[in-house]
Every structure is written in C-alpha cells, then in structure tokens.
Chain A
Amino acid sequence: MACCWTAGALSLQAQRPARQPRPAPANLPEANPYSSAADLEAGRRLYMGRCGHCHGQTGEGGRGSVLNTGRFHHGDSDRELFLVIRNGIPNTEMPGAFNLSEAELWRVVAWVRQLSRQGASDPITGDASAGAIVYQKNACSQCHTINGQGGFLGPDLTDIGAKRAVRHLRESLLDPSADIPLDYRPVALITAAGKGTSGIHLNEDEYSIHLRDLSGNLRSFLKSELTDIKLPRQSVMPAYPSLSKAELENLVAYLDSLRPNR
C-alpha cells in the first residue's frame, strides 16, 4: 500500500519528518578528485544543461540560489557540495541529480567551485606578508573582518582567498562598484523631514525598508515617512587607485592567502 491516512485525533496530524537524504557512498573523498581542465569543461557543460536554468549561467542566481559568492548554505566542502547536488535539498525546489554518475557529479562540483572563484586563477606575483602590511596601512580592517577582528561595513574576508579569483580580488580593489555583493548594496534615504540617511540595505518590502547605517546602527523606516529611496550603483567601499603596482599585488597576494584551515 503506497499511502496511508490518519483520522480523528489531532495529535496524529503532526508533520511528516523531512525526507532523509541518501547516505554518502562508501569512501566518498573530502576533496574533489576530478578537477583537471577537461573535468572543468565537462562540469561546465553539465552545469549549463542542468543547473543554469535556475542558478543562472554564471551562478548569479534566479529561481535557484546564488552560487558565485563562495558561500553555500548547505555545506561548502567538496564532499558536501557533491551530496547536495546528488541528493537535492529536501523540502525545497532543488532536485537531486540522482541520475548523474559519481564522476559527473564531481565535475559539476568542480564547475560550481569555478563559478565561486569568478574566473580562472591568475598567477600570484606579490608577497602576502608585505600585503598584510598594506592591509593595515590602509585601515582596511575598519570595514572588513578577518578572523573575527575588524569592522562590519564590508564583507568578512576570513576565507576570501578560497572564494574569489585573483582577478576578482584585484578588480574589487580598483573598481569596487563593478560587482557589489548582494548583502552589501548601498541605500540612501531621505525622510519627510528632509534628513538624509545612508547605509547597507538589509531588508525591504512594499511598506518598509531597513538598513545598517555607517555607524553600525540597525535602522527601520516606513516608506510612507520617506520622500526618496535610492539604491546607488556606487559601492560604499572606496577605490584604491593610489596603490602602487607592488602594493596592489602584495595586497592581492595577502587576500588570496586567506583560506580556511581545514
């Protein structure tokens, strides 16, 4: 019998437990064993045909979640990514790719990693320890956090080397408005009294908008009390064109060295 029913007692109508994901295959490695250039290309083709419909051609998201930030809410190790792709996510729209072979699944994992890195890695030419000094000298920690130390206006950089390609790190320093992370979009408001407020956009619906101002205060506004709402295309992070080429490359090398200790 493929179905059942319960009657009467209200206690019997409790929720069904979420479906259990399939167990991991025996000896499933922690790290992706398929990461050659050929594997990446195969993974790209698999991703485009099966995943890009929801997650976007470059992992920018759409029906599915954003995949190019390096943050994965259901586990971000290679092994965890493999299992999420294979099993899907219960009670969400994410289906399991249960018909892909193990090798195909690993190749998709490789391509998803590549999306997170936003491009292939350039060679590192700078010196990371010298870059740490550039980081301190330019007071980057006023806005960014590394290992729990620093400010909150910009993204946490603790694992940034694992999440972003060198090219993207360099671009973020020279032109931070080119690609503003979703969680750090700036917003500028003007109240009915004519007072301006700006900060990082946190939440919004038809009637209200919420931000973290530049002092770190969490602020809420009813739209009926505002005369203007702007979502500037300019990042709150300043560009650093004044860095010498050596300073820039050293800082990029330092950021690239920031990786999780596993």
Chain B
Amino acid sequence: MKWLLVTAALTLAAVARGQSRTPQGLPVTYERLLQATQEPGNWLMYGGDYRSHHYSSLNQITVDNAHRLRARWIYQMHRPKVETTPIVVDGIMYVTRPPSDVIALDAETGRALWTFEYRLSARVYTCCGEVNRGLAILGSTLFITTLDARLIALDARSGRLLWKREMADPALNYSATAAPLAIKDKVIAGIAGAEGGIRGFLDAYDAKTGERAWRFWTVPAPGEPGSQTWGGDSWRHGGASTWTTGSYDPELNLVYWGTGNPGPDYNGDVRPGDNLYSCSLLALDPDTGKLKWHFQFTPHDTRDWDATQVPVLLDASLGGRPRKLVVVPSRNGFYYVLDRQTGEFLLAKPFVKQTWAKEIDKKGRPVLNPGQEPTPEGNDSIWPGVDGGNNWMSPSYNPNTRMLYFNAREERRRFFKTDAPEFRPGESFFGGGGGGGARFRPEESWGKLIAMTPETGEIQWEHRILSPPWAGALATAGNLVFSATPSGNFYALDARTGKELWRFNGGDRVFASPITFLSRGKQLITIPIGDLLIAFGLD
C-alpha cells in the first residue's frame, strides 16, 4: 500500500513536470512519432517532432534554477566534428559518431550498452569532414545513412545489422551525412556530395525490407520539368544534394526537404539558368515522391548557399488569416515565410548583413545587386560569407513565447572563381572558393542568437557571440533557450528577454544542437562539445 502511494505521488509529480506517460520503451510506432510532443521525456527524431520545432515542454529546468546546472556525465567520442543529434527512448540514448558509428548509451550514466562500428566500404570524397548528423527510429529499428552513401538498419536492442542498401556509388563522390526521417512505413534519406559534382536526389526506402520505394532527382534530366533551367550537359553534375533532415505535415501528407548548391559551386558560367531544384525547398508526397511544389531561395547560386536549413512548420495568423506556414532562415541571409500547403511566398526579410540582393520581389525572387559574383581575382565585398547567414544547425520554436530561435552568422568573405572543373571521381568540383577567414576584422566575422516573431520576421532580441556559430538552439517550457559558441561555451538564456542565466566552458568548438529528455524522472540536457557528448542536470 505504501509502495502504491509513493508510486502515485511520483506519477503526479512527473505529470506536473511534463512526463505525462508511462515509459513504453520499444517499439516506437509511427503513431508515437506522430505524437512525439506527448512524450517530452523522450527525443524521438532529429527535429524533436515532425514539425522540427526542436522544442521541449519539459519544465524542471527553469529561468529560476538554470544556474544550478552541472555536468552529469561525459561520453568520449574520440572523433572530430561531432554534428550528431541523438534520439532518446525511455532512458536509452542512441547516438552516432563520425564517420558512421552508432552507440546505445544509458541516458542516466552515459555508459555504453552496445556499439555498432561501421567500416567504410570505400575511400570517400567529402568536402567538409567525415560527419554524421544522427539517426531515425521506427519500431525497434534504427536507421542511419553512412559516409559511403549507404542506408543501414540496426536492431535497436542489440546494434545488429538488419539490412544495408547502397543509395549511390561513393566512387562517384556520393556520400551521406543526414539523419533519415521515418514516415509511416518508409524511411526518407538524403544524399551529399554536391562539392564533388554529384547529381542530387532524395530517396525513400521500405523500413522493413530496405527496398527503395521512390527517388526524386533534385536535378531534372533533359525533358523533365525544370530541365530547361540547365545549360547543355551541366545537369549531370548539377549537385543539389539533400544533406539536412526535413520536416513532415501529416495532415497535408507533405514532406519538406531543403536542397543544396548547384555544381560547380562558384563558376556558374557552365550552367546557365536557374538550376532547379538547387537551393530550394521541396514539398513532396512521402508515399510517392511526387513533387507538390518547390520554392527556390537562390536561383543560379554561385556562393555555395545551400538551402539545407531545417524547415520549421508552424501555424499562425497572417493578415488576419490563419495560415499553415513553413519558415526558413536561409543561408543566403534572408528569413522566408511560405504557405506550406501551396508554396506561396509570403515574406522575406534579411536577418544578417547582406549585400547581394536589393530586395526579394513579390514572387520571392531576389533582385540582384551588381558586383556580387565570384571573380577570378577574388571578390571580398560579399556578405554573408560562404557558410551563409544560417546553415544546417537546428532552429527552435517555442509555442509559448511564440518565438523562433536560431543562430546567425555575420560574415564577409572572399569569393573567387576558377576555370570550370572537369568531373573526376575522388576530387572536388568547386570551380572556385569562398575562403579568407584570417584576413577579415572581428567586426566582419561574428555571430548572434536571434529571437524572432516567426510570422513577421521581426527580431525581438539578439544575443551576440564572438564568432560565427555552428550550434543549434533548444527552447524549453522552462522559458529557456540553450545554445553554444565556437569557443566552446554552452549557455542558457531567458527565452523572453535574452538575458544570460548560465554557461559552461566545454573547451572546444560546437558543431551540434542540444536536446533534452528525462532520465529517471529528472530533466537532462546534452550537447556534443568537441569530441565529447556532455549531459547536464540540476545539482
């Protein structure tokens, strides 16, 4: 009887603190994924939920007690550039490490339960490190894309390989780094390699068998819609990779996925036209892969401004009319609001200094400023830089404050172009570059976390940081926003004002997004800092 009373009291306390369900463990059904926000003690997919809010309703850690956060455990990755976002299912954390390994950790202690170590099948060309950004779960199966362009399925209980499918040939410069997205009975998986001259695509695979269900080529072949936007044979190496995880609206049954730069990156002379569907947001039917609509942020891009930002789905009133929106702080420096049902362009506003566009016109097309292209001698007048005003790191939307939080990069960089490259397996396909880090002054290279009213693009407050960040944001119901700086400082802000409440020096650069979950009823927060995955909780 006494035990029952204690259990009841603990359950009530858990409900009050946001843990409103009995732990179910595996399997994680599609129905559970649809209701991911009802399981705040878990983190069930890359973006937190299908809308990619990257938000948690957990409220044990608050504005009032965040100063009591302490490191609870560390898991040593022993790998550089950890970009992963873990998944947490009732006390078990599944996390990837470069290049393509998966580890199951006890979320309470950080101790490893099993390790799946993937051996690459081939030498792989990569532009930007041997990274991996996470995994998906459906049922009792984990899904990960590998650096050598495979999609593999693992038994979440043992780490045993269930199946492996080649998405593309890594010898032709294909690689894969994005966390897949599980929808219904399929796994959606993106590809990488636009810097190596691939032709991009987005795939869906049967979750049970691994058979490919559909492929959407992000660069159309001659005769297909959009092919007129490519000159000559340039489509063959047109890039438009899909290397960041998208979002999903179950009501509209549309998956939203961003695409990368066209190839060659900086020399657009050989690919006259808009180069669809590069630098675009795609809305696809997840059952068939059919394109419902697309929106291109940067037509004929020559500055490597991939549109592989995480699209955030939210509903708001615009002009007195309720709208289903998808919002994107784009790498090109403009914040965009689109109608996610139709793709209609609604709004664009710069959120960093930008020099390349006079404005975005009423149809959403940029009106270009002259002199903002890469040149043979180098053009160092262009803002934002090659890594953009924003990049792949996760934004976060708090439905209580109704604010969108994301990191922004203020940078000027030198863009140059070379002769158009020949495609060669194992080699880059840049046609120029966008480097020049050391030559610019501190005021030409810095960062900020932005709090924005998403339906208007109005910035509410900014939190300045020393150099351009690569970390995602996490908002919680404790009225907190967490993020991190390239100098290794992990910090918490008051989500309403931007006031800093707590920080921790992790001592290395951060290329990842924080998440939060419950372990034994207590809220923890993790983030990779350098090659360490660190968990924080209240003392």
Task: Return the chain B residue nearest A48 by Cβ.
Answer: B418
B81 close to chain A: CB less than 8 A: yes
Q: Which residues of A173-221 are within 8 A (CB) of B? A: 182, 204-207
With a CB–CB cut-off of 8 A, which chain A residues contact B438? 56, 60-62, 66, 182
With a CB–CB cut-off of 8 A, which chain B residues contact A151? none
Task: Return the chain A residue nearest B427 by Cβ.
Answer: A99
Give A90-104 as 1s and 0s: 1 = Cβ < 8 Å from B's Cβ atoms: 011101111110000
With a CB–CB cut-off of 8 A, which chain B residues contact A95? 125-127, 428
Q: How far is the CB of B364 from chain A (nearest CB, A)?
A: 29
Q: How far is the CB of B164 from chain A (nearest CB, A)?
A: 8
B76 close to chain A: CB less than 8 A: yes
A6 close to chain B: CB less than 8 A: yes
Give A60-104 as 1s and 0s: 1 = Cβ < 8 Å from B's Cβ atoms: 111110100000000000000000000000011101111110000
**How many residue pairs, one in A and one in B, have C-beta atoms under 8 Å apart?**
156
Q: Which of A7-15, A105-113, A128-136, A162-170 has 4 or more CB atoms under 8 Å from chain B?
A: A7-15
In whole angstroms, how far apart are the Cα atoms of A62 and B432 in the complex?
Answer: 13
With a CB–CB cut-off of 8 A, which chain A residues contact B119? 2-4
> Which bucket holds chain B's interface residue count?
35 or more
Give B51-95 as 1s and 0s: 1 = Cβ < 8 Å from A's Cβ atoms: 000000000000000000000000010111100000000000000
Give A230-258 as 1s and 0s: 1 = Cβ < 8 Å from B's Cβ atoms: 01000000000000000000000000000
B413 close to chain A: CB less than 8 A: yes
B234 close to chain A: CB less than 8 A: no
Are B129 and A93 in contact (CB-based, < 8 A)? yes
Q: How far is the CB of B160 from chain A (nearest CB, A)?
A: 6
B78 partner, pick from A15, A63, A99, beta carbons under 8 A: A15
With a CB–CB cut-off of 8 A, which chain B residues contact A92? 80, 129
With a CB–CB cut-off of 8 A, which chain B residues contact A2? 118-121, 164
Are A49 and B435 in contact (CB-based, < 8 A)? no
A45 close to chain B: CB less than 8 A: yes
Q: Which residues of A23-72 are within 8 A (CB) of B? A: 45, 48-50, 52-57, 60-64, 66
With a CB–CB cut-off of 8 A, which chain A residues contact B387? 63
With a CB–CB cut-off of 8 A, which chain A residues contact B431? 49
Are B115 and A53 in contact (CB-based, < 8 A)? no
Q: How far is the CB of B140 from chain A (nearest CB, A)?
A: 15
Contacts A62-B435, A205-B485, A231-B442; A49 near B129 (Cβ below 8 A)? no
In whole angstroms, how far apart are the Cα atoms of A166 and B424 in the complex?
Answer: 38
With a CB–CB cut-off of 8 A, which chain A residues contact B117? 3-6, 16
Q: How far is the CB of A262 from chain B (nearest CB, A)?
A: 28
Are B114 and A54 in contact (CB-based, < 8 A)? no
Task: Return the chain A residue nearest B78 by Cβ.
Answer: A15
Q: How far is the CB of A190 from chain B (nearest CB, A)?
A: 17
With a CB–CB cut-off of 8 A, which chain A residues contact B112? 10, 13
Residue from A10, A15, A206 whose CB has the most chain B CB atoms within 10 Å: A206
With a CB–CB cut-off of 8 A, which chain B residues contact A53? 127, 195, 265-266, 428, 430, 432-435
Residue from A16, A45, A95, A182 whose CB has the most chain B CB atoms within 10 Å: A95
Are B505 and A5 in contact (CB-based, < 8 A)? no
Contacts A5-B117, A99-B424; A52 near B433 (Cβ below 8 A)? yes
Q: How far is the CB of A96 from chain B (nearest CB, A)?
A: 8
With a CB–CB cut-off of 8 A, which chain B residues contact A204? 466, 487
B503 partner, pick from A8, A63, A207, beta carbons under 8 A: A207
Q: Chain A binding site: helix, strand, loop or mixed by DSSP? A: loop
In whole angstroms, how far apart are the Cα atoms of A132 and B409 in the complex?
Answer: 48
Task: Return the chain A residue nearest B124 by Cβ.
Answer: A95
Contacts A49-B430, A207-B503; A93 near B128 (Cβ below 8 A)? yes
Q: Chain B binding site: helix, strand, loop or mixed by DSSP? A: loop
Task: Return the chain A residue nearest B430 by Cβ.
Answer: A53
Are B436 and A60 in contact (CB-based, < 8 A)? yes
Q: How far is the CB of A15 from chain B (nearest CB, A)?
A: 4
Q: How far is the CB of B275 from chain A (nearest CB, A)?
A: 19
In whole angstroms, how far apart are the Cα atoms of A110 and B487 in the complex?
Answer: 34
Are A56 and B489 in contact (CB-based, < 8 A)? no
Task: Return the chain A residue nearest B422 by Cβ.
Answer: A49
Q: How far is the CB of B147 from chain A (nearest CB, A)?
A: 12
With a CB–CB cut-off of 8 A, which chain A residues contact B488? 205
Task: Return the chain B residue nearest A66 by Cβ.
Answer: B438
In whole angstroms, how far apart are the Cα atoms of A43 and B355 in the complex?
Answer: 33
Are B437 and A207 in contact (CB-based, < 8 A)? no
Q: Which residues of B30-65 are within 8 A (CB) of A? A: none
B427 partner, pick from A50, A63, A182, A205, beta carbons under 8 A: A50
Task: Return the chain A residue nearest B125 by Cβ.
Answer: A95
Task: Return the chain B residue nearest A69 by Cβ.
Answer: B438
In whole angstroms, how far apart are the Cα atoms of A63 and B413 in the complex?
Answer: 11
Are A98 and B426 in contact (CB-based, < 8 A)? yes
Are B434 and A5 in contact (CB-based, < 8 A)? no
Task: Return the chain A residue nearest B466 by Cβ.
Answer: A206
In whole angstroms, how far apart are the Cα atoms of A15 and B79 in the complex?
Answer: 9
Are B489 and A206 in contact (CB-based, < 8 A)? yes
Are A15 and B76 in contact (CB-based, < 8 A)? yes
Contacts A10-B111, A45-B418; A64 near B159 (Cβ below 8 A)? no
In whole angstroms, how far apart are the Cα atoms of A45 and B81 in the complex?
Answer: 30
A12 partner, pick from B115, B125, B485, B503, beta carbons under 8 A: B115
Are B424 and A63 in contact (CB-based, < 8 A)? no
In whole angstroms, how far apart are the Cα atoms of A182 and B438 in the complex?
Answer: 8
Are B433 and A97 in contact (CB-based, < 8 A)? no
Are A56 and B465 in contact (CB-based, < 8 A)? no
B414 close to chain A: CB less than 8 A: yes
Are A45 and B115 in contact (CB-based, < 8 A)? no
Task: Return the chain A residue nearest B505 by Cβ.
Answer: A205
In whole angstroms, how far apart are the Cα atoms of A60 and B487 in the complex?
Answer: 21
With a CB–CB cut-off of 8 A, which chain A residues contact B432? 48, 52-53
With a CB–CB cut-off of 8 A, which chain B residues contact A93? 80-81, 126, 128-129
Give B182-200 as 1s and 0s: 1 = Cβ < 8 Å from A's Cβ atoms: 0000000000000100000
Q: How far is the CB of B305 from chain A (nearest CB, A)?
A: 14
Are B378 and A57 in contact (CB-based, < 8 A)? yes
With a CB–CB cut-off of 8 A, which chain B residues contact A97? 427
The 7 A-B residue pairs with the shortest CB-CB distance in the complex, in nearest-first order: A62-B435, A56-B435, A15-B78, A99-B426, A205-B487, A53-B433, A93-B129
Known: A49-B421, A61-B438. 20 other contacts (CB 8 A): A2-B119, A2-B164, A3-B119, A4-B116, A5-B158, A6-B117, A7-B113, A16-B117, A49-B430, A49-B431, A53-B434, A60-B435, A60-B439, A62-B386, A63-B386, A92-B129, A93-B81, A99-B424, A204-B466, A206-B487
A-B contact pairs, 11 of them (CB 8 A): A3-B116, A49-B430, A50-B428, A52-B430, A56-B433, A61-B437, A63-B437, A96-B123, A99-B426, A204-B466, A205-B487
